[in-house]
Amino acid sequence: MKQKVFRLLADLRFSIFILLLISFCSIIGTIIEQDQTIEMYKINYPLTNPVFGFLSWDRILQFGLDHVYKTWWFLALIFLFGSSLTLCSFLQQLPSLKIARRCQFFRTTNPFYRLKISTILNNFSFNKIISRIKDQQYSVFQQKNMVYCYKGLVGRIAPIVVHFSMILILLGTIIGSLFGFKAQEIVPKTENFHIQNILTNGPSSIIPKTSSRINDFWITYTKTKTISQFYSDISILDSQGNETDRKTIYVNYPLVHDGVYYYQTDWNLIGLRFQNSSQRIIEYPLLNIFGNQDKVWLTWISNNQISKDGIIVIIDNLEGYCSIYNNTGQFLGNLELNETVNFKQPLTLLEIISSTGLQIKTDPGIPMIYLGFFFLMISTLISYITYSQVWMIQKNQQIFIGGNTNRAVFEFELEFFKFVK
């Protein structure tokens, strides 16, 4: 019974079937938005009008289609596919490699007629042919009047390396799903923060308790006033508040600390800080009027709590100035940092309060996945090595010679004719 199960798992058709199931589940995970809020699924997949006639939000949550790649059944398929590849390697590929290393002499002439190329030579030097074969870097084995030769045996390793690389990739995927996490934090400049806003995490992931600080945040612009890059100066702090690591990050250039990656992903403006004539600090919150479509913020500064008389401040950059309009929408001018606007009482713009958007994530399976892809590329190169075999038998004055190859048949035929010319 156990052998039947192992043979089933090692069967190529079974592996392809599991791979197709994994592909189908991946398509589902691509079509259905992953790791979103329940409200989003209720809006897009209502009970009264299911998508495709059956796909409603309750079924999505019931079967875990909102997080396909972390469900037990998807991980089980990955594990089953990996087990199939492992058994296929040990029960089929390795035994075939061992057979290929053996001396497979032809003791009769009948097998020569089943080879891709063969011929019969009369009154030809047996030793001369062997010498020519050796010149082509073949390994030659002789037993009396029988000769077996091969070269390119390393090319037979390619399927095993492919299986090994795919197993590494699958293991890395499972490890990442179980122990990885992803978080998103919006942190004002000069503020400390902990990792709290977790977007996704595996069942065995451990969220670091590390405290961090945003020392500074700034943006560089091109000559056409478009954003060139935005930067965050981040410090990692220990339990005593002492700095243990520090780096200025920007897009695709993260800080890596204890396997946790801090990526620069977004930015925001949250307020304006003014100082009045009595040295009092006043902060006005900024509102993003277009949401995520465009980064334009505004605030209203009134001359008193109940009056409709005031000014509108609009800002769409971090270059150190904002635009001022009156309550009728008339443009009054630009106000730069440390510049004073005379509105009932003088107000001096001290600071444009900004915040940085960070994506914080760890995936301990990534190194194993990279290693798997490295071996996959190696296997591609190995697969181009041609594995060729040549057999000979001398009977009376006749020499039966033939050969097989797994690829590059034309080149092998040219090589074969050099042996017998």
Confidence band of 304 (pLDDT split at 50, 70, 90): low
Give the burial class of 111: count Cβ atoms within 10 A of its Cβ; 0-12 exposed, 13-18 middle, 19 or more buried: middle
| Tens-place pLDDT, residues 378-390 | 998 998 888 999 9
pLDDT of residue 67: 85
* Mean pLDDT score, 357-377: 93
Higher-scoring residue by pLDDT: 180, 2: 180
pLDDT of residue 307: 61
Q: Is the pLDDT of residue 224 over 90?
A: no
- For residue 107, give every residue at least 6 positions away whose Cβ sits within 8 Å of its Cβ, in sequence order, or none: 146, 393
Confidence band of 305 (pLDDT split at 50, 70, 90): low
Helix, strand, coil percentages for the chain (3-state, nearest 5): 35, 35, 30
pLDDT of residue 201: 85
| Tens-place pLDDT, residues 123-150 | 888 899 999 999 999 989 998 889 999 9
Q: Which of 3-7, 32-36, 290-294 is the most confident on average?
A: 32-36
| Tens-place pLDDT, residues 145-198 | 899 999 988 888 888 898 899 899 989 988 988 899 999 999 999 899 999 999
Q: What is the domain class of 103-152+386-420 according to CATH?
A: alpha beta
Is the CB of residue 292 less than 8 Å from the CB of residue 307? no
Sorted by where each begins, the domain ranges of the chain are 2-91, 103-152+386-420, 181-362
- For residue 291, give every residue at least 6 positions away whose Cβ sits within 8 Å of its Cβ, in sequence order, or none: none
Alpha helices in 104-242 (DSSP H): 126-135, 158-179
* Mean pLDDT score, 212-238: 91
